[in-house]
Amino acid sequence: MVAKVVLAGAAVVAAGCLVGGAARAASRGEITVRWFGHACFLITSPSGVRILTDPFDSTVGYPVPQAEADVVTSSHDHFDHNNVSAARGNPTVLKGNGRYEKDGVKIYPVASFHDTEQGAKRGPNTIFVMEVDGVRLVHMGDIGHDLSRRQLDDIGRVDVLFVPVGGTYTIDAAGAKRLVEATSPRVVIPMHYKTAAVQIPIAGVDVFLKGLDNVVRCDSNEVRLSAASLPKATIVYVLDYR
């Protein structure tokens, strides 16, 4: 189970949900995480580097992301994670073994699978580890299995974990909780679950949240983070894609 934090700490972290925009966050030395829905986030560093993760196409149900990006990561080549052309600008695209290191941002891959059968059913999946201004953010993509000891070692410390929780095509709520326990992140952001916008046969986020402590439901699609403000014990942010 996700560990408890003191009430005062929870109140401070909850303030990170407030809408402030990337520019305001940068002025405070904060990282902005914006959720477009599904597994797609725009992560903006304090220096302005923009990372777009797993952009989807119009068939998913959410509005297709419209964002300037310097880097785009795609965990695997499925329509709901590989619409890299949605990114504006001339971004570096990372797939498979792709790596990036520039302007204080480092991104590297950890190989995994989309299923429990070594990729035989749904193929490979790439976990991307992002080091941004002292914060380590780990996007699990469509991980379909528990992590091995070697994968955990390759991932290293986890400050912010983006984890799929909807099941069917990825790990389910129970698998997501095991992953949280294995990685001990400071912040968990669930993704890849059913909302009113999508008709994909996956479970909603409440199945994952059941029994967890320190859940903060944000009334916005953004959260602001910094190395100095990370909680001492795990907290779960549930973002609103709208």
| 23 φ/ψ sector (left φ>0, alpha ψ -120 to 50, else beta) | alpha
Sequence-separated contacts (24+) of 147-155 with Cβ below 8 Å? 147/112, 147/179, 147/182, 147/183, 151/110, 151/111, 151/112, 151/127, 152/182, 152/183, 154/110, 155/110, 155/127, 155/129, 155/183
All structural domains of the chain with their residue ranges: 7-238
- Residue with the two structure tokens 């100095």: 228
pLDDT for res 120: 74
Read off the pLDDT of each residue in 35-51 and give the average, rounded to a whole number.
95
Read off the pLDDT of each residue in 60-69 and give the average, rounded to a whole number.
91
Question: What DSSP line would sit under 36-98, residue for residue?
Answer: EETTEEEEE-TT--EEEES---TTSSSPPP-EE-SEEEESSSSTTT--GGGEES-PEEEETT-
Confidence of residue 7 (pLDDT cuts 50, 70, 90): very low
- The span from the CA of 114 to the CA of 223, in Å, is 28
The predicted-structure confidence for 177-218, as pLDDT tens digits, reads as follows 999 999 999 999 999 999 999 988 999 999 999 999 899 999
| Average pLDDT across the chain, whole number | 87
Share above pLDDT 70 across residues of the chain, in percent, rounded to a whole number: 86
CA torsion through residues 106, 183, 164, 148, sign: positive
Contact yes or no for 161/188 (Cβ under 8 A): yes
Read off the pLDDT of each residue in 57-66 and give the average, rounded to a whole number.
90
User: What's this model's pTM, rounded to 2 decimal places?
Assistant: 0.89
> Is the CATH code 3.30.70.250 the one for domain 7-238?
no
The answer to whether residue 148 scores a pLDDT higher than 70 is yes
The answer to whether residue 66 scores a pLDDT higher than 90 is no
Identify which has the larger pLDDT, 17 or 2.
17
